[in-house]
Amino acid sequence: MKNQWVHKVSGYVRIKITGPYPELFINRCIDNKMYIWDIHHPGKEVLICSVLLDEVSHLRKLARASDCKISFIDRRGMPFFMQKLWRRNGLLFGAFAFVVSIFILSNMVWGVQIEGASPKVEHELRQAVMELGVKTGAFQFTLPPPEEIQTIITEEISDATWIGVTRKGTTYHFQVVEKEIAEREPREAPGHLVASRDAVIYDLFVEEGLPMVEINQVVEKGDLLVSGLIGEEGEERRVPARGTIFGEIWFQGKVEIPLSRTLYAVTGDKYRTHKLYIGNVGIPIWGWNPPEYAHAIEEEYESSWNIFNMELPFQYGYKEVLEATEVEVEHAVEQAVTLAVDEGKEELLSQFSEDAEIIGEKVLHQEVEDGKVKVIIHYRIVDDIAMKQPIIQGD
């Protein structure tokens, strides 16, 4: 018995046999070694069966000999499928042309991006890669590999220390590191370093100049820390004093923390509104009648679309609105004091430089009044207190 997949490849037909003795037709087919299968008897003097397409030409002769009539009710298999497909050859050719176009377009160069180069070096680089054929519209399979392009252009561009070449999709990316000629820094004007505020010297590092203070020494604002005059008396030489002088500063702050705060917690109910953005204009596309919440938290999202590394002029975005309820959070006095110390640190550090550091804090007094905890805190801060002062005539 032949496999069903062979029938589908070679093709077969479903026929209807009508006559006084349709079984006689089946017997004659079997005697002629014709393959017949899937035989049904839907009614009196009627048979339906399947016959290979190659044997259709013998059916008429056997039907006349059996006094039967034959009608075709279905055609199946690859030959008939190809015939139907050929009738729609426009769609077939269109799909083929689409696949070919996508293949060609995805293997062309659609962009050349250069990063890290000055206008002069960028112009030279574009000329060099264009001579190698790397330009918009060129086929990628006709171009040298990125490693070879990198070697060639690095040798040609003398002002570049290194040029990296990568290919991402249909775009070539060139990362340029130019040669830098170290410029001599201008000589600073001679001067002293003086204290910018009252403090206790915590640590010091002098690069140039004569130190005038020691660790644990108390200084006031304007006191001389590092002198810009060095050498023996009467033969002093003026230099720009440089160094870092860390001073310990004492600061007393007052912070108030409410014992209860109102926070918002989401309930789980939410809705979305969808928009299509063209430039800065948002066009609603879904979510016309959103529910109204007494309290809500909004979160917006926006995504861009790209084809062949080219960003489309429109984007999709949506806004998610979450329903929220008010929640009163009660703080114990101890927790409120801890929060006061932390908030006091943040507020205090904002008044000093980025190098400032709090090395200690102590709560001097705390009291509860009108639903608030009032805390007085003593902080110890270390910061650079050096400030430049020019040397004037007569120093």
**pLDDT for position 312:** 66
What's residue 144's pLDDT? 85
Q: How confident is the model at residue 1 (pLDDT cuts 50, 70, 90)?
A: very low
Q: Report the relative pairing of strands 191-195 and 210-211 from DSSP bridges.
A: unpaired
Mean pLDDT of the chain: 80
Which residues have CB under 8 Å from 14's CB, separation 6+?
A: 38, 48, 49, 50, 72, 73, 74, 75, 76
Q: Please provide the DSSP assignment of 270-322 as one string.
A: EEEEEEEEETTEEEEEE--SPPP-SSEEEEEEEEEEEETTEEEEEEEEEEEEE
Mean pLDDT of 273-302: 77
Class of domain 4-82 as given by CATH: alpha beta
Core vs surface per residue 307-346: b (16+ CB within 10 A) or e: eeeeeeeebeebbebbbbeeeeeebeeeebbebbbebbbe
Does the pLDDT of residue 181 top 60, yes or no?
no
Question: The pTM is what?
Answer: 0.40
Give the residue-averaged pLDDT of 334-347: 80
Res. 183 pLDDT band, cuts 50 70 90: low
Of all residues in the chain, what percent carry a pLDDT higher than 70? 89
- Rounded Cα–Cα distance for residues 259 and 329 (Å): 8
* Distance of alpha carbon 28 from alpha carbon 70, whole angstroms: 14
Rounded average pLDDT over 353-381:
84
Average pLDDT over every residue of 324-343? 75
Read off the pLDDT band of 219 (50, 70, 90): very high
- Alpha carbon 32 to chain centroid, angstroms: 72
Is the pLDDT at 327 greater than 60? The verdict is: yes
Least confident of 160-164, 207-211, 294-298, 303-307: 303-307
For residue 94, the model assigns a pLDDT of 81
User: What is the reported pLDDT for 126?
Assistant: 86
pLDDT for the residue 329: 64
C-beta neighbour count of 64 within 10 angstroms: 11
Confidence check: pLDDT of 163 > 60? yes
Instruction: Judge whether residue 179 has pLDDT over 80.
Output: no
30-74 pLDDT per residue, tens: 878 787 887 888 778 788 888 888 778 778 778 777 778 888 887
Q: What are the start and end residues of each CATH 3.30.70.260 domain in the chain?
A: 4-82
Instruction: Please report the pLDDT score of residue 202 as a whole number.
Output: 92
At residue 392, does pLDDT exceed 60? yes
pLDDT at 311 over 80: no
* Strand partners of residue 112: 172
Q: Express each pLDDT in 111-122 by its tens digit.
A: 888 888 888 888
> With respect to CATH, is domain 111-178 assigned 3.40.50.1370?
no
**Highest mean pLDDT: which range of 27-31, 151-155, 157-161, 274-278:** 151-155
Top mean-pLDDT range of 41-50, 201-210, 328-337, 341-350: 201-210
Residues of the chain with CATH 3.10.20.310: 111-178
Residue 81 has pLDDT above 80, yes or no: no
